[in-house]
Amino acid sequence: MRKEAALKRLKRIEGQVRGLTKMVEEDRYCMDVQMQIAAVQQALRAVSQELMHKHLEHCVHGPDQYKEMLDLIYKYSR
């Protein structure tokens, strides 16, 4: 993922989070809020996966780096 594309996606997610804040402030229907939260979580996962894919392609070249990646994956997969 190009830097510009990642930033564009993250800014869109930032807007979604602002929308969530507004929904909570307005006491919107809980299930609508939950659905939007799920959408934000999925959007963040998609950005994370793409960034990890690019990192693996371009930055991970040796055993120490593989261990570092595995540690990170295990840490966040809990």
- Rounded to the nearest 10 degrees, how much is the dihedral formed by the CA atoms of 64, 65, 66, 69? 130
Instruction: Show me where the domains of the chain are located.
Output: 3-76
Q: What pLDDT shows up at residue 71?
A: 86
pLDDT digits (tens, 9 = 90+) for 3-27: 899 999 999 999 999 999 999 999 9
CATH class of 3-76: mainly alpha
Q: How far is CA 47 from the centre of its chain?
A: 5
42: pLDDT confidence band, cut at 50, 70 and 90?
very high
Q: State the helix-helix crossing angle for 63-76 and 30-58, rounded to 10 degrees.
A: 170
CA distance 63 to 24: 46
